Amino acid sequence: MQRSIFEPEHEQFRDSVRKFMLAEVAPHRDRWREAGIIDRETFLKAGEQGFLCVFADENYGGAGIEDMRFDQIIIEENMRNGDLGFYVHLHSDLVAPYIHELGSDEQKSRFMPGIVSGETILAVAMTEPSTGSDLAGMKSKAVDQGDHWLLNGTKTYISNGILSDLVVVAARTDPDRPHGISLFLVERGMEGFERGRKLEKMGLKSQDTAELFFNDVKIPKANLLGEAGQGFKYLAQMLAQERLIAAICFMGTAQTAFDLTLDYVKERRAFGKPIGAFQNTRFKMAQMRAELDMAQCFVDQCVMQLNDKQLTTEDASAAKLLSSELEGRVVDQCVQFHGGAGYMEEYRISRMYTDARISRIYGGTSEIMLEIIGRGLGLDDRKMN
């Protein structure tokens, strides 16, 4: 289905992003997967082309364009022609907005130029070994020591955990309030800040995921992000965008899997004819096409609502839920159509299958998304009893 949200300038931008991904990212996929990490230089090259934080103010090196469609294009082209392990969306669209929205002028002047150029790679650390989506159960804590904060705790499953130079860390600062959390900017090289092992994952092999340890880390008062004790509120404010970004990623990979498979079923022959000529193949491909178009329309509409600052948590959760579940069904069916080849690591569709399994977990599980949507309908057991 022809998408209607993009203007000519967006399509021109897409061409330049596609060329970048094909030239600077795609050739390194296999090497990065073997190494378990991408090259830092890729962020620098993306920064040189203006593909990091397009929303950032011009005096920080950005384009000053707050239009999620440009970010959407970068994500889609990375999913299709780049590498899923190149977490440009985490850097630009999930973490940088915390600094852009909450940071003081001093913090933005200090960090944003490096973030936009790709010199300063970002991560966010919320998840802990004993907690998942339950941020109220967070055990990491920061104690006010007068001229600094003293941070202690452990975080796990942190994307960009090895590469990151600046980490937005959530920690408890008010032990008497379940939501008494604050956000801190922790810099590479701070004493007591250590990286654990690079975690081995089922998929997303080229994306570095790690444990982070904070042992009596002295955080300058100037590195408190926003107001003390307001971290839970800040995290909640950013969740709609985070889940929409995830949905954009999932739709990009699902569409890519479909395109790869459409080409395959046209060329692969069985019993004297292309397997795409069999009714079962034709019907299932048609079903996927219809579902992809329907879901893409919804995600595109969410992008426009975000631009208008009208995107609700419920709609973003619905986008994340539907796109992740659809991605899972599509890549599974696409592996099936590839037959034995789909089970071989050398085929991209095989790698996409394992990469996609995390989609229904991170950023909030499908069950959490359903809970949020259900509560938005007024079906909240906390209020109905």
User: Which residues have a catalytic role annotated?
Assistant: 242
Helices (H) and strands (E) in the chain, counts: 13, 10
Q: What is the CA radius of gyration of the chain?
A: 21
Distance CA 97, CA 53 (A): 9
Distances in Å between the Cα of 149 and the Cα atoms of 60, 70, 188, 298 are 28, 38, 17, 43
Question: CB neighbours of 215 closer than 8 A, spacing ≥ 6?
Answer: 152, 192, 194
Structure tokens at 6: 């993009």
Cβ-contact 97, 257 below 8 angstroms = no
Amino acid at 189: G
Residue written as token pair 């007068």: 146
Q: Which helix (H) or strand (E) holds 270?
A: strand 269-270
Distances in Å between the Cα of 257 and the Cα atoms of 6, 178, 263, 338 are 23, 42, 10, 11
189: left (phi over 0), alpha (psi -120 to 50) or beta: left
Q: How many residues comprise the chain? A: 385
HSE-up of 154 (CA within 13 Å, CB side)? 9
**C-alpha torsion sign, points 274, 279, 282, 285:** negative
269-270/166-172 β-pairing: unpaired
273-274/269-270 β-pairing: antiparallel
Distances in Å between the Cα of 221 and the Cα atoms of 107, 123, 146, 148, 229 are 11, 20, 9, 5, 14
b/e for 15-52, b at 16 or more Cβ within 10 A?
A: eebbebbeebbbebbeebbeebbbbeebbeebbeebbb
